């Protein structure tokens, strides 16, 4: 009887286990476009090393501000879905060296960490989700990064704020927040 119970348990365990399906990370955009979500037990994996060229420290200057981006590749798990993505921490200083923004030491799950989302159709740029200080007043949106040369040592960063409704309650005087990254303009960055 004991053997039958153990055998039955093993069979039921085997039937209820589902294999994980590995899908290239560049297919994330297809799931977004389809609007059906990502199937359970899917691993969006960087099998073609498309994320690797972005990993490292990048520096640039735009309108008197110095931008340093620290880009890392990570694997995240959400319930039954696993995915490789980029995380960006940043240090922004004024021309005199004063620190304006610094996310270097905050945890990966902080809303201030820029987190990877998807590649565009031709795989030339990568979109990431951003929510900065005063996000309820408009300082949130999508960051787009794109390497600009064959050696992958030059990169542009663009920012497109989300179109949101703001309220007097959260944004006194309906004043929009100062944006962390310039709207629609590319910051050119060099890999260090």
pLDDT digits (tens, 9 = 90+) for 43-85: 999 999 999 999 999 999 999 999 999 999 999 998 999 999 9
CA-nearest of 116, 100, 122 to 182 is 100
H-type alpha helices, the chain: 2-16, 28-34
| 15 has pLDDT over 50 | no
Instruction: Answer whether 119's CB lies under 8 Å from 28's CB.
Output: yes
Other residues' Cβ atoms within 10 Å of the Cβ of residue 52? 13
pLDDT digits (tens, 9 = 90+) for 153-178: 999 999 999 977 878 888 877 777 88
| The total number of structural domains that make up the chain | 1
**pLDDT value of position 17:** 58
Other residues' Cβ atoms within 10 Å of the Cβ of residue 155? 24
CA distances from 155 to 60, 62, 63, 82 (A): 9, 13, 17, 27
pLDDT digits (tens, 9 = 90+) for 126-139: 999 999 988 888 88
Q: Measure the CA–CA gap between 150 and 147, rounded to whole angstroms.
A: 8
Average pLDDT of the chain? 88
Q: Measure the CA–CA gap between 96 and 34, rounded to whole angstroms.
A: 48
- Could you list the beta-strand ranges (E) of 8-53: 21-24, 42-45
**pLDDT value of position 186:** 85
Torsion sign over Cα 74, 77, 83, 85:
negative
Give the range among 10-24, 89-103, 106-120, 132-146 with minimum mean pLDDT. Answer: 10-24
Domain range for 158 is: 2-191
**pLDDT value of position 51:** 97
Instruction: Answer whether 133's CB lies under 8 Å from 140's CB.
Output: no
């Amino acid at each position: 009887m004991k053997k039958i119970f153990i055998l039955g348990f093993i069979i039921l365990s085997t039937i209820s286990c589902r294999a994980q399906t590995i899908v290239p990370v560049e297919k994330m955009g297809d799931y977004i476009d389809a609007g059906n979500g990502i199937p359970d037990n899917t691993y969006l994996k960087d099998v073609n090393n498309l994320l690797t060229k972005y990993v490292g420290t990048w520096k640039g200057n735009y309108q008197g501000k110095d931008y340093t981006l620290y880009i890392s590749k990570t694997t995240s798990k959400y319930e039954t879905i696993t995915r490789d993505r980029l995380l960006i921490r940043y240090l922004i200083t004024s021309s005199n060296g004063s620190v304006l923004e610094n996310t270097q030491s905050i945890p990966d799950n902080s809303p201030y960490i820029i987190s990877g989302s998807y590649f565009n159709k031709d795989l030339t740029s990568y979109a990431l989700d951003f929510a900065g200080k005063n996000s309820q007043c408009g300082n949130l949106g999508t960051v787009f990064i794109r390497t600009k040369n064959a050696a992958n040592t030059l990169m542009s960063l663009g920012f497109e704020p989300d179109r949101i409704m703001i309220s007097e309650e959260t944004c006194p005087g309906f004043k929009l927040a100062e944006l962390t990254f310039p709207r629609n303009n590319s910051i050119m960055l060099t890999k260090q």
